[in-house]
């Protein structure tokens, strides 16, 4: 469990470091929020719902030896066929997540897909944003 937590924390830190590099490279005027962006929006709030993403091919990773920055775990490139699926247009809300927890979402066992393998694990054995997403989908029957 401790190793899993350490890996998840290290992974998050890598993302924060990458964001810091990207932000550092932006010109100053791109880092300042214009006053007009701080005004409240009078438009009605967007409606929740789902969209269907058509089937297609996703390219995961990068090709080695090209002039692009990448972490060592982002190489090599692989193309994967992805079936059509539906996804919420907004992230899971705190209320939706609470319903998942109260309904025993972390107490059940789910088959989680890691690469091309499936393994049954107790839902509480290791959590990360990726695993949470898989648990949430399994909980709702996806």
Taking residues 70-81, what's their average pLDDT? 82
Report helix, strand or coil for 62: strand
The answer to whether residue 46 sits within a structural domain is no
- Residue 125: per-residue pLDDT: 47
Structural domain that includes position 108: 87-142
* C-alpha to C-alpha distances, 70 to 11, 25, 59, 66, 115, nearest whole angstrom: 14, 16, 15, 10, 20
More confident call, 70 vs 82:
82
Q: Are residues 105 and 77 in the same domain?
A: no
- Tally the domains of the chain: 3
What's 92's DSSP letter?
Answer: P
Taking residues 100-129, what's their average pLDDT? 58
Q: Are residues 139 and 98 in the same domain?
A: yes
- Of the pLDDT bands very low, low, confident and very high (cuts 50, 70, 90), residue 139 is low
What's this model's pTM, rounded to 2 decimal places? Answer: 0.43
- Residue 134: per-residue pLDDT: 60
């Amino acid at each position: 469990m401790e190793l899993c937590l350490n890996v998840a924390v290290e992974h998050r830190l890598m993302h924060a470091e990458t964001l810091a590099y990207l932000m550092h490279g932006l010109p100053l005027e791109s880092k300042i929020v214009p006053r007009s962006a701080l005004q409240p929006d009078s438009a009605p709030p967007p409606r929740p719902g789902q969209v269907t993403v058509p089937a297609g091919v996703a390219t995961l990773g990068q090709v080695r030896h090209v002039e692009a920055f990448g972490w060592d775990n982002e190489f090599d490139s692989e193309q994967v066929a992805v079936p059509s699926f539906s996804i919420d247009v907004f992230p899971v809300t705190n209320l939706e997540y609470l319903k998942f927890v109260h309904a025993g979402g972390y107490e059940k066992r789910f088959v989680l897909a890691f690469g091309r393998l499936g393994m049954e694990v107790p839902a509480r054995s290791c959590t990360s944003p990726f695993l949470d997403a898989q648990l949430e989908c399994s909980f709702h029957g996806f």
